[in-house]
Structure 1
């Protein structure tokens, strides 16, 4: 049985509780990850950000032209 089917077999009240629990887990994780990053000194420096921006792909738009 798939995870989705198991979730669908729960009572509506339990599904609501699981959904709220997952949302709370995500919010808590987002809050704690920022604090842990600061505490353990894992913040990216400006040089790291510049090196990463050079590796990121660039998107260039090209006009089609009027003759098509």
Structure 2
């Protein structure tokens, strides 16, 4: 049985609880990941930040001719 079929087999309250749990898990991950990284000694260096900034896509606006 696939994961999707198992999920669809749950009653509506269980699916709602599962979805809410995923949202809470994601929110907590966003809130505490930086603090956990600092405690574990996994802090990005300035070189890491510069390399990441270099990989970001750039958007260039081209004026539209009439």
User: TM-score w.r.t. structure 2 length?
Assistant: 0.67
Of Structure 1 and Structure 2, the greater helix share is in: 2
> Take 2:20 and 2:57, find their aligned partners in 1: how far apart are those partners?
37
Task: Note the residue ranges of structure 1 that are not aligned, 5 or more in a row.
Answer: none
Paired residues, what number? 66
> Take 2:60 and 2:46, find their aligned partners in 1: how far apart are those partners?
25
After superposing on structure 2, the runs of 4+ consecutive aligned residues of structure 1 that deviate more than 6 Å are: none
Larger Rg: 1
> Take 1:13 and 1:55, find their aligned partners in 2: how far apart are those partners?
43
Gap change, CA 1:3 and 1:38, over 3 Å in 2: same
- Tell me, yes or no, if structure 1 residue 35 matches structure 2 residue 47: no
Task: Note the residue ranges of structure 2 that are not aligned, 5 or more in a row.
Answer: none
Q: Aligned-pair RMSD on alpha carbons?
A: 2.1
User: TM-score w.r.t. structure 1 length?
Assistant: 0.65
User: Comparing 16-25 with 1-10, which one deviates more in the overlay?
Assistant: 1-10
